[in-house]
Structure 1
Amino acid sequence: MRNPVVAALLASAFLSLSANATDLLQIYQDALANDPQYASARSSLTAGQEKSVQGRAGLLPTIGLNGSDTRSRVESQPDIANADRNFTTFSNTWSLALSQPLFRWANWQQYEQGKLSVVISEAQFAQAKQDLIVRVGQAYFDVLAAQDTLATLQAQKVAISEQLASAKRNFEVGTSTITDTHEAQARYDLATAQEFAAQSDLQVKRSALQQIIGKETGELATLKAGVKLNSPQPAAVNEWVSSAEKQNFNVVASEVAVEVAKREIERNRAGHYPTLDLVASTGRTATGGASSTGTGVVKPTTIGVQWSIPLFAGFAVDSKVKEAVALQEKARNDLETNRRSAAQGARQAYTGVTSGLAQVKAYEAAEISSQSALDSNKLGYQVGVRINIDVLNAQQQLYTTRQNLAKARYDTIMNGLRLKSAAGTLKEEDLSEVNTLLQR
């Protein structure tokens, strides 16, 4: 019969210890509020949305009001023929001017670029949100895996200590050799060293999760015992790859960036094109004072069109067009790079899910076999047909199998999230589905 202490330690590795454990969705909500990377992406989105307003401004009229108010005093020295000539003049002027672009090709292209820049910002923010889901999930399950490792080593240490005590008793009564005692002692010392390393690794993993959510995590909800994982749907890797090549948000942003680069070429070519504006102005000028020019008020009002034809700009326009063409080619290559990366990510994640499911199934069978092997070795040791090292090896095999089983489940879940992220379909609802696999 299994020692109740060992059973309790093993249960702590794979079952929740607290009814108030924090689950994956709670961690994700904390990350939405506190993760600095996500906050930076949100600010970038807000800034990017202003590009549309800035681009539209080039198509709207500009209105300006100018004015001045001056006072002048003139003093002259008297001569024999004339008396003193000291006088003061003043001038008050203001003008209101309006200019409405009628044909400015560069401004129109800038307006179109502004709208496209908003699309890029939205795609980048959507990708940042998917990245946050993946980062939170990875950090969460890294903590669970580290907890499993630590609890497994602690359970193994307890079991080894029992075998060590048994070996010592058998040696004292003469039913075993000192070799059994030395072997059990060596295993116990190794388990102690591994336990310290596992404690350090758990602290590191908790710190990584804390960095995302900005606070201590406390106890985390763990996977339900014997949880069953589903295969990816659709069950064809080519469909996932096709979705990744079209819907991945990095690919979408790159596609729009190519269009922006195309508009940039047209915007620079507009340096050769004429411009036409509607202009209108009105104002008032008042002058006065004891001067030869007299006093009066003038109210000029004008309206008309103003055109300009560029003739030569030192080859600057041609150079900028060549630069924009090269940048468009760069944008196309970046698009192809992102498309291939998304496709490769989808293939890797799909393979990770399918192979992970196979590993989980194999480890579940291995767990049953390892448990049977341990029970048989314990019975054989009691009747004298097995030695202490056989029991220790069987114990280590069982604990390692259980740890690997849990890790395979975590990796399969994460590959499922990465697969949907690569395909551009990852949403909070997918994280909610994963959360249903946890027990609080």
Structure 2
Amino acid sequence: MKRTLLKAELLKATILNVVALTPLTFVFGVVLWLLAPHASAHTLLEIYDMARSHDPAFKTQELSIMAAKEVLPQSRAALLPTLSVSGNTRKVHTSNEDAFIGNTLGPAGVLAPVTGQVSNDYNAIGYSAELNQPLFDPQKWYRYKQGQALFNQQEWEQVKAEQDLITRVTTSYFNVLREMNELTSLQAEKRAVKKQSEQLQRHFEAGLVDMTDVYEVKAALDRIRVRIIQANNRLQARREELIGLTGRGDIEVQPVFDSLIVEEIKPGNEKFWKDLAMQNNAEIKVANIEIAAAKENKNAARSEHMPTISISASYFADDSGVGGYGKAMSDTSTLSLNLNMKLFQGGAASSRSREAALRLDESKLRYLDKIREIEQNTATLFRTIHADVASVNMLKLTVNSHEEALKAVKAGYRMGIRNAVDVLQAQKAMFLAKRTLIDATYDYVSNIIELKRLVGVVDRDSLVFSDG
């Protein structure tokens, strides 16, 4: 089956320009054929899309951010008018044993009062409404300003969560590819050693070699079989990580090999990348907005001692029956201007003010520490990528050297000046060099994406590797 080479368009941002890596057709012949992508294989971008809609850690963080954003409408509501209504209905029963009933004529024609037991049952209805509007409440105003800052902070938390997911998916994706490369390389090495073992067995039967060489090759073959079992186990573990991210048990990773682009990043100025990180890094943005929120919290705490002014209007009505002889209707309307000032709270307000000031200092120090961390990580990663490029270029030469060395050792073996162990060691060195080269290429790509995350330009397009 003919393998379609993948050409990655890595770093589509204008700040990154790269050129194609020269294919090593002969070097990777067996490994590339074994790892040729199938129609059902999933690209890095497809796996990221799956993870974005499933990954429990990302979804949990997303819900947490959405919940935290509700602080803004809640703090804004404290500045708006509040209207409350209430009502009640009552069943009333009254009883009076000595109630005055009326007058009657006595024996002498004199009016005499008549008393007796009187009971009454009636319904009563009451209802009220009250409207309150703060006119001057600095604490509520500063809480609202703090809510705005916290809302903006959550916007950047969302960006940070998405960028973190990109790097987690990328790391998991290339971890699977590394184990696939390790496994298929060992399988190719196993076939080569097995073929050598069969040849030695025939030579031994013909009396051309002694039994030592045969046992040496068989022992090497057994060691490779053990390593294949271990590599397969590691591969399954890495696949489980992807399954956990995507929720899909049918994930097939699409490999990307020598078609990946490996070249120095441009501009090759370390300061440029540091400055870009200071401008765009999501973690720095979050830490900076945290300072603004802490300032408003400090203002709110200090304003607890200040007076508040509000206006309120209320209406109350009560409609009740009176002794069964009629109804009584009463209502009351009020409009008031309210002044409230807390003079003493047992020291609680002063304590909250000191706490808020300390929290502000804490957020400032955290911001400075985050700047130092991002600046240091950006510089380190920039230099690491530079070393990755040099390593890949040198490893290409190393692979070619090991191939030529293997040819020479095999020729010496045929001439009788080299033994089977020499051939085994040369083969092992060649396969190791090939695996190391592929791993170094994956390291380069992973580090490029991590650098883009640090400088705040990584996005979904950074994961696109297109055919061409």
User: Given the alignment, which residue of 203, 228, 253 partners 2:236?
Assistant: 203
After superposition, give the CA deviation of every residue in 1:92-116 in whole Å (9 maximum; x if it has no partner): 2211111110000111011111111
After superposition, give the CA deviation of every residue in 1:207-235 in whole Å (9 maximum; x if it has no partner): 11111011124432211435332322332
Please say if residues 34 and 212 of structure 1, whose CA atoms lie closer than 8 Å, have aligned partners that are also in contact.
Answer: yes
Moved more, 377-386 or 207-216: 377-386
Provide the secondary structure at the position in 2 that maps to 1:85: strand
Pairs within 5 Å for 1:359-398: 359-398=391-430
The amino acid across from 1:400 in the alignment is L
After superposition, give the CA deviation of every residue in 1:158-194 in whole Å (9 maximum; x if it has no partner): 1111222222222333332322222212211111111
Distance 1:226 1:307, change over 3 A: closer
Provide the secondary structure at the position in 2 that maps to 1:82: strand
User: Given the alignment, which residue of 429, 432, 436 partners 2:461?
Assistant: 429
Q: Identity over the aligned pairs, expressed in percent?
A: 27
Pairs within 5 Å for 1:237-386: 237-290=270-323, 295-386=327-418
**1:11 is the counterpart of 2:43:** no
Q: Which residue of 2 aligns with 1:214?
A: 247
Root-mean-square deviation over aligned CA pairs: 2.2
The amino acid across from 2:31 in the alignment is L
Please say if residues 284 and 299 of structure 1, whose CA atoms lie closer than 8 Å, have aligned partners that are also in contact.
Answer: yes
The amino acid across from 2:424 in the alignment is L
Q: Distance in 1 between matches of 2:314 and 2:266?
A: 67
Please say if residues 402 and 429 of structure 2, whose CA atoms lie closer than 8 Å, have aligned partners that are also in contact.
Answer: yes
**1:236 is the counterpart of 2:269:** yes
Given the two structures, how large is their TM-score scaled by the length of structure 2? 0.86
The amino acid across from 2:358 in the alignment is A
Q: Distance in 1 between matches of 2:267 and 2:292?
A: 32
Q: Distance in 2 between matches of 1:186 and 1:147?
A: 24
The amino acid across from 2:32 in the alignment is A
Provide the secondary structure at the position in 1 that maps to 2:117: coil
Deviation at 1:344, TM superposition (A): 2.5
The amino acid across from 2:388 in the alignment is G
Given the two structures, how large is their TM-score scaled by the length of structure 1? 0.91
Pairs within 5 Å for 1:42-61: 42-61=62-81
The amino acid across from 1:383 in the alignment is M
Please say if residues 16 and 220 of structure 1, whose CA atoms lie closer than 8 Å, have aligned partners that are also in contact.
Answer: no
Q: Distance in 1 between matches of 2:191 and 2:407?
A: 17
Distance 1:394 1:248, change over 3 A: same
Structure number with higher helix proportion: 1
User: Given the alignment, which residue of 155, 159, 175 partners 2:208?
Assistant: 175
Moved more, 210-219 or 52-61: 210-219
Q: Which residue of 2 aligns with 1:3?
A: none
Q: Distance in 2 between matches of 1:367 and 1:299?
A: 97
Provide the secondary structure at the position in 1 that maps to 2:97: coil
**1:65 is the counterpart of 2:113:** no
Moved more, 78-87 or 312-321: 78-87
Please say if residues 88 and 289 of structure 1, whose CA atoms lie closer than 8 Å, have aligned partners that are also in contact.
Answer: no
Q: Which residue of 1 aligns with 2:196?
A: 163
Deviation at 1:9, TM superposition (A): 4.6
Moved more, 217-226 or 315-324: 217-226
Moved more, 75-84 or 95-104: 75-84
Q: Distance in 1 between matches of 2:252 and 2:339?
A: 72
Pairs within 5 Å for 1:93-108: 93-108=126-141
Moved more, 282-291 or 360-369: 282-291
Q: Which segments of 5 or more consecutive residues in structure 1 lack a partner in the other structure?
A: 1-5
Q: Distance in 2 between matches of 1:368 and 1:165?
A: 27
Please say if residues 17 and 219 of structure 1, whose CA atoms lie closer than 8 Å, have aligned partners that are also in contact.
Answer: no
Q: Distance in 1 between matches of 2:251 and 2:415?
A: 46
Which protein shows a greater Rg?
A: 2
